[in-house]
Chains A and B, each alone.
Chain A
């Protein structure tokens, strides 16, 4: 089946930028998402991007999409301790299920 892959762990210092990377295999993916999961909670949508876009910025979050390489990244500027969580990349297309990566656990050290 189609896969979504992410590295499992990332550690940064407070105030630095974090970059979480994701690759996917389905070239017909229409929508790509970043979800955040805090301890003991469900997933919450952080941001999304349509496949015909290269970049989307939303306050401290920047999403970059390289459709040719099927690579998606999430950059968090000025990372804070409250950003510590698991971040899931996901993709979907019309009339199809959403597929999630395994999640990247971001640890922010003071």
Chain B
């Protein structure tokens, strides 16, 4: 099973600042990586797939990069609506698909 490790567990930032979230895979997942946003009481929402492709309707301030084992989600100018938990997921080696433990983005 491919283990996904996210860092940091919690990131405290202010609105308007840039946030950088990291995700590391225990083995290469090529570019088969997705990022999701989850707010309390809601389902995860797809932000990025293929490591860097924004999903439909996702603002340009969200960007993804990386390949192999190291990936980054960058939110260029944080808005109040962006404070949530973010998960990375690999879909290169399955079953099972595996997720990171999440990064909580807080004010």
A joins B in a complex = no
Mark B residues whose CB is within 8 Å of A.
Answer: none
